[in-house]
Structure 1
Amino acid sequence: MKSLGLIFVFSLVVSDVSGAETDVVESVSVIVGDSVTLHTDVTEIPDSIEWRFGKHLIARISESDEGKPTKPKRKRLQLDHQTGDLKINKVRIADFGLYELEINSDTTGLSSKKFNISGVNNLNGVKLVPVLERDSVILSPGLTEIQRDDQITWTFNGTLIGQLKNQTPEIFADVLDGRFQGRLHLNQQNGSLSITNVGPNTAGPYVVDITKSGSSYTIHKTFRVTTIDGGNRMSVMEGTSVTLESGVSKIHRDDLVIWRCEYGDSVIAEIRHGNFATFDGPDGRFRRKLKLDFKTGSLTIRKTRTKHAGLYHLDITGNRRTIFKRFNLSVYTRDWSPCVIAVIGVAVLLLVVVAFGAVVTCFLKRLLVKQKIVFPQPAGTRLYPDLRKDLRLDRRTMQC
């Protein structure tokens, strides 16, 4: 009887523990604009799978639906009809909260999982990565260290180009006509992807899928690599003004215009939602120097100084266009330029040579007249013309 009591108490403890497991909530941290997939971890579709956000049913697969998943309640949700996994595309702040999965199976019974999605705001969404043609770029998934069971996969336009499993990197450079041959490197420490010699055929969307060991979700990050030209080279005299032209005739209200200076990679001017502003820069070098054309987005630098020389980047992004430009500005002083100094130096040197030659010629003429030197000449030749005809020597003063 005593043993039966112990068995009964033990069964209660087990029941309590199993019930506690169903209440475990997995925390999922996402940057706004990234995507995330919540996994069911089932090998085959059970009788029914239901996803709820809060108390609202948002997706379902059941036998009554003849194996076809119901259309998710939100446009950015995707339900995998083979695994029941739920993908949330381009996560917004409104998507933060508790997601509950209920699985009903004849073999395993009723089970559930919970995910609490939270994160930080990032207004950029997709990471735009402008790269100079033939330059290199590193796309980072944002991980400091890769664990052994972490899985990282990189795709380009939906094609697998690299993966990291068991801390072993693997590159698939022979895909897409071999355009990535010798151009890719996958860092086994942090999962970042390096692309060398970027060209138009390797520009486009790159997606990294990150599945941490022991987790039931996958983070998706999207990078859009674009190529830009070598930059417009401009030169201006110190103290004058220069305008960096945007190349567009009109800025639309949905356009985001960003001017950046390479010094400190700081934003010095912007147009956002129809509002425009200029900034002084990290050290105040642009204070009262900038004028932004709110109609075209062109930027004028007034009364330039040598400290304003360098690279300037223009990014225009909107629903109708994406433009990246780079300007290489040089500012020269009012002092003599090295080129002018070199020309003057050569001219002075020539004058010295001519003057020295005249002195030597005059000395020889005097010597010829006073000493009556006769130059021997081989027979039948006239190596030395009659110098006396060319002499203009005053015999009284012996001056040339």
Structure 2
Amino acid sequence: MSCDGANVSVTEGEDVTLKPAYKINKGDEIQWLFGDKKHRTRISEIREESRRPFIDDYKANERFRDRLDLDKTTGSLTIKNTRTDHSGLYKLHIRTSRKTLQKTFIVTVYEKVEVKSVNEDSVTLNPDTEIQRDDQILWIFGDEFSLIAQIKAGTGETYDGADGRFRGRLELNKETGSLTITDFTTKHNGPYKLLISSSSRGTSCKKFRVSKHRK
């Protein structure tokens, strides 16, 4: 998604590109900052002496690691695979031979949640990606982040939950990472989170909100 205005809204997982409203000329210096005035951090810039984009993605609590692209011709900044913690204030400074230009962007990244309504006795939650042999899979339930299933080193385990509500109800597919909840009742309503950790691909997250209404 591209943006020429000052306000941008995207859903997490999407890319967003912030564009200057000014033409970048040879010799202009460009600096992108993130955060409010009290916690503002430089995340990217083009310096006059090198003319090479400099990405400082390890700052701002490393939230931008491997996610930033700076176009040295246009000065546009792209944030890849956005997360909700990329929401906030972005400020662009362009220093020309005559003056300094500024532009502010407010970016809002909305949480992506798959909503499932249960009409049968069971429900299956599926990953969006193919599971690799070395992946670690964690299934988490509720706002208290209770671990209810995991796959590690090719071995799958399920857990009853803090209050035992999932006892005898969970089926974990070690090949696909899918989790099936059988004999589903309203006490199993709520948020579910899938975390997939890979040494080669990093960590990905998928969120669900599952509900069954009383008859």
Please tell me the TM-score bracket, short chain as reference: 0.5 to 0.7
Question: 2:206, 2:36 → 1: CA distance?
Answer: 28
Question: 2:187, 2:64 → 1: CA distance?
Answer: 33
Match of 2:36 in 1: 182
Q: 1 or 2, which has the higher helix percentage?
A: 1
Q: Deviation per CA, 1:12-34, whole angstroms, max 9, x where unpaired?
A: xxxxxxxxxxxxxxxxxxxxxxx
- Describe the shift of the 1:177–1:234 C-alpha distance in structure 2 as closer, same or farther (beyond 3 A): same
Residues 92-171 of structure 1 aligned to structure 2 (within 5 Å): 133=12
State the structure with bigger RCO (CA 8 A, min sep 6), 1 or 2: 2
One-letter code of the match for 1:270? Q
Deviation at residue 230 of structure 1 after TM alignment: 1.6
> Residue 211 of structure 2: which of 330, 333, 355 is its match?
330
Match of 2:83 in 1: 227
One-letter code of the match for 2:212? V
Question: 1:269, 1:276 → 2: CA distance?
Answer: 7
- Describe the shift of the 1:262–1:254 C-alpha distance in structure 2 as closer, same or farther (beyond 3 A): same
Match of 2:142 in 1: 262
TM-score, normalised by the number of residues in structure 2: 0.52
Q: CA-atom RMSD, angstroms?
A: 2.9
Question: 1:184, 1:269 → 2: CA distance?
Answer: 41
Deviation at residue 224 of structure 1 after TM alignment: 7.1
Question: 1:318, 1:284 → 2: CA distance?
Answer: 30
Question: 2:177, 2:112 → 1: CA distance?
Answer: 20
Question: 2:163, 2:138 → 1: CA distance?
Answer: 19
Match of 2:177 in 1: 297
One-letter code of the match for 1:254? D
Question: 1:327, 1:279 → 2: CA distance?
Answer: 19
Q: Secondary structure at the match of 1:291?
A: strand
Question: 1:270, 1:183 → 2: CA distance?
Answer: 42
Q: Secondary structure at the match of 2:212?
A: strand
Deviation at residue 270 of structure 1 after TM alignment: 0.5
Deviation at residue 303 of structure 1 after TM alignment: 1.2
- Runs of 4+ with >3 A deviation: 183-186, 204-208, 222-226
CA contact (8 A) 1:264 1:282 kept: no
Deviation at residue 182 of structure 1 after TM alignment: 2.8
Deviation at residue 243 of structure 1 after TM alignment: 0.5
Q: Secondary structure at the match of 1:297?
A: coil
Question: 1:332, 1:306 → 2: CA distance?
Answer: 7
TM-score, normalised by the number of residues in structure 1: 0.29
Match of 2:200 in 1: 320
The structure with the largest alpha-carbon Rg is 1
- Describe the shift of the 1:206–1:277 C-alpha distance in structure 2 as closer, same or farther (beyond 3 A): farther
Match of 2:187 in 1: 307
Q: Secondary structure at the match of 1:264?
A: coil
Question: 2:165, 2:188 → 1: CA distance?
Answer: 8
Q: Percent identity?
A: 37
Q: Secondary structure at the match of 1:307?
A: helix
Unaligned runs of 5+ in 1: 1-131, 134-174, 187-192, 194-203, 209-221, 335-400
Match of 1:103 in 2: none
Q: 1 or 2, which has the higher strand percentage?
A: 2
Match of 2:7 in 1: none
